[in-house]
Amino acid sequence: MEKDSVEFEKYIRNIADFPVKGIQFKDITTLIKEGDVFASAVDFMYDPFRDKVVTKVVGIEARGFIFAAAMAYKLNVGIIPVRKPGKLPGDIIAEEYQLEYGKDSVEIHSDALQKEDKVLIVDDLLATGGTASATARLVSGTGAKIVGFSFLVELVELNGREKLPDKEIHSLIKFSV
């Protein structure tokens, strides 16, 4: 499937006031249920990184796992989950961040990455950049190097890219909020 022949935006459903009033939630379930569209989206998210040295893909909970697993498979590397608090057994490191509608934190196993790892961070959505920035701090805290970020959707006016300076960032679908 050619990118120009797929209007990915039409596969994203907008849900008003979810999870809180004032948020326009971008529901990706309407995209991932279409096998050919999902496969094409993964291919386009992967393409900018196909010739990069990547040793691990870090997927951000929860919808980011969907795309991170597919991209790790295509890159033939392992996947590292970044989870919300209390979901990982064993020793963890954590980072707090601001959401567009509150505050939260993310965690990773303290032994998940090594200094020699080259990491691609994947999530379904870049909004304010809080989750991605916290994940970047977790990855950098292990000594691993960040190769870049790949997102399915970017909410452009929320300026999430500003929290990820000097990083290669690719997003397939860009929405105005």
Give the catalytic positions in this structure.
Answer: 63, 100
**Could you tell me where the DSSP H helices lie in the chain?**
29-32, 35-46, 63-75, 130-141
What are 59's strand-pairing partners?
Answer: 81, 122
Half-sphere exposure at residue 150, Cβ-oriented, CA atoms within 13 angstroms = 28
- What span, in angstroms and rounded, lies between the C-alpha atoms of 149 and 123? 8
Q: Pick from 19, 40, 44: which is nearest to 31 by CA?
A: 40
**Contact between residue 42 and residue 74 where contact means Cβ atoms under 8 Å apart:** yes
Handedness of CA 97, 85, 118, 73 (dihedral sign): negative
Please choose, from the candidates 71, 2, 66, the residue with its C-alpha nearest in 3D space to the C-alpha of residue 36: 2
Three-state SS for 108? Answer: strand
Q: How far apart are CA 25 and CA 29, in angstroms?
A: 12
